[in-house]
Amino acid sequence: MSSSISLNSNMKLHPRSNIYQQQLKDHWYQRWIYLCQTTEIPYHGDYIAKNIGDYPLIIVRNQHDEINILNNSCRHRGSRICQKEKGNEANLVCPYHQWAYDLDGKLTYARNMMEEIDIANLPLKSFVCSIINGSVYVNLSLPADSDEQAPHECFTVKNRHRAAYQYRIQRNVGYEAVLSQLDLSLELLDTAEDASANARFYHDTETRGIIAADVIPIDEHHSELTLTYLVTSGTSEGKHFSRQDFITQSAKDLDIIIADDSITPLSVKPVRPVSAEDLPALNARQMQDILDKRQAIDHADVYAPYRIWDSSKQNLVCTMIVKETHNVRTYTFQIADGGWFNYKPGQFITLELPTEGEKTLRTYTLVSSPSRPMSISITIKAQPNSTGTRWIFDNVKVGDSLKAYGPNGDFSFFNDPADKYLFISAGSGITPMMSMTRWLYDYGGNMDVNFISCIASPDDILYQSELERMAGRSRDIQVSWVCENDNELNTWTGYRGRFNKLILGLAAPDYMDRDVYCCGPGPFMRAVREALDASGYDMQHYHEESFSGTETTPLPDDFPTEGRSVNITFSHSGKQHECDQRETILIAAKSANIAIPSACGFGVCGTCKVKVNSGETHMVHSGGISQKDIDAGYVLACCTNPMSDVEVEI
């Protein structure tokens, strides 16, 4: 092979030396480089990630069946977007700060920065792509909109081939030495050596198979050789070709010995959408699921504001169920007709359960994090006397649809940011703490967290592996477990007993400097408050989540001791109902056969939030509604009295 600079594989060069960089510039970046076969990425969203010198690339098939070559580097902080060598993604999401790009490289979502930047000006850099007889080439020196194509001499095979097997090996010599070895092999199909910088094709006349050999430089003294076995359309494994053909041809033509267990099988299906004829063994529901996943969809507006979940119009669909312990499960939901979730870590939703008799509403904290906005999850425990949760355990399956309301709640550090946090929980009270911890970990910023979880026994520990993995990767996360009892097989060696001031000091010596968030049963939270208060802790930095009623504010002096009659108009139905001022809007609505969803009954959960268009009301709530909603005219029907004739938007 000719080259302006010859590299001897035995030369002692420093990594990324000037000679090596110049050779990349002259030999690689100015010429067409073979990347892969189109049949290696047959479906929309299929991608391959490769590094060509200093260029990290994504080769991806978009929703229009076109192949794009994009820079695998986020425009935010330069993090690698696709971490795996191969995969399938509906959109390309950076794992660092969740910037999302569509399959054409257009930025569609920039978390927490949508109002600060113009996303139209921040696409991924793209490169010119040329496809010759199913082989994908890139030229890194040409502009992305160039009309120039790779010369047909790059691959002179005229029949359409597809990739069947692949073998990859790292060679401890420079790429020129590997190419020189390949050039000495027989049956070379690449008649113009300089047309492609890195690929050679070898033809086996007996099996009609072709080996595509491509070399990618790693550094001066190392390169990666990939052999891809191509077979003609219409042939089938076992009848027309086999793994042994690949092994035999590689040894005969290339003098490369391949072990059978080191071969990676590739898809040999033709490039076309999946149809029902391809799936005769699947039932109708499974077939439709696969077809839905493979069909072309527009991902450009995945994170558009109008796609945020609207609980008044959109149901949730259960997509996954995970058994955490003998009586705890995690249920994951997505939006039935597509979209994403916008909420604060620590908030909750209310599920409407079609139990026997009448609908039952139950409130559950979201254990998922808004940093992963395409789904939400709840982790729930079935108590012996539970009704709603037991119904979910017995009836809800993957694919089932449920009505839900929310998200609601103010128990979130979003409302009171701090530098250091102490999360204390008992039992299922761990769920809002997990949501907040996951968000901090995903966000990658300040995450000085001390996490204390109190449980009955080691069998009841939740999320242990995930929390310990996060703590193992970040010095800013500390995790402690406090168990009351041993389990049947093992003696607990960590903190033991009920939570008290001594355990607090041992597990979190600097708790006086931290904002404390607490969630669990009432007696547990009282014990935490007493331990903190006895130590002189500033309780203004203490926050707790409770689904029990709190002391209400006193009624105003002018509140009538004997209520007078007022009229409530329900605008959507046009119904009017006369009621006493002492009745709440929720009670009046039930009397008028108007359904207002409600759960807690004392102004905590926020499920019964409605808008009052006109008239005077008096509301005594327990934290289930934000001041922003109040200013916009919303009230909680369960704890709001009509003081005059009012109109309610429902």
Mean pLDDT split into 10-residue runs, the chain, 650 residues = 32 52 80 89 89 90 91 90 88 84 90 82 93 88 84 56 84 81 58 61 71 84 86 74 78 73 62 37 45 46 74 89 92 88 92 81 92 94 84 91 87 89 94 95 83 93 92 90 85 88 92 95 91 92 70 47 80 86 88 78 76 89 73 88 90
* CATH architecture for residues 305-407: Beta Barrel (2.40)
Cβ contacts of residue 234 below 8 Å, gap of 6+?
Answer: none
Please name which of 350, 342, 435 lies closest in space to residue 392, comparing C-alpha atoms.
Answer: 350
In which residue are the tokens 């079609």 written?
Answer: 354
- The DSSP output letter for 269 is S
The pLDDT value given to residue 175? 80
In which residue are the tokens 């041993």 written?
Answer: 486
> Crossing angle for the helix pair 430-443 and 464-473, nearest 10 degrees?
30
Task: State the Cα–Cα distance between residues 93 and 227, nearest whole angstrom.
Answer: 30
Residue 378 contacts residue 330 (beta carbons within 8 Å)? yes
Q: In degrees, to the nearest 5, what angle opens at C-alpha 622 toward C-alphas 572 and 377?
A: 75
- Any idea where the domains of the chain sit in the sequence? 1-17+151-272, 31-149, 305-407, 420-545, 565-649
Residue type, 346: G
Residue 171's Cβ-count burial label (10 Å; 0-12, 13-18, 19+) is: middle
For residue 435, how far is the Cα from the chain centroid?
14
Q: How far is CA 532 from CA 271, 412, 476, 538, 539, in A?
A: 64, 20, 22, 8, 8
Task: State the Cα–Cα distance between residues 124 and 127, nearest whole angstrom.
Answer: 10
0.75 exceeded by pTM = no
Q: How many DSSP H helices and E strands does the chain contain?
A: 11, 34
* CATH architecture for residues 420-545: 3-Layer(aba) Sandwich (3.40)
The pLDDT value given to residue 206? 64
Query: What's the fold here for domain 31-149?
Result: Rieske Iron-sulfur Protein (2.102.10)
Task: State the Cα–Cα distance between residues 599 and 365, nearest whole angstrom.
Answer: 14
In which residue are the tokens 């696409």 written?
Answer: 123
Task: State the Cα–Cα distance between residues 380 and 395, nearest whole angstrom.
Answer: 14
Q: Is 601 left (phi over 0), alpha (psi -120 to 50) or beta?
A: left
Query: What's the fold here for domain 565-649?
Result: Ubiquitin-like (UB roll) (3.10.20)
Q: In degrees, to the nearest 5, what angle opens at C-alpha 339 toward C-alphas 336 and 344?
A: 110
Residue 325 contacts residue 459 (beta carbons within 8 Å)? yes
Q: What does the H/E/C string look like for 494-526?
A: CEECCCCHHHHHHHCCCHHHCEEEEECCHHHHH
Measured from the Cβ of residue 539, the count of other Cβ atoms closer than 10 Å reads 11
Write out the two tokens for 524: 């547990």
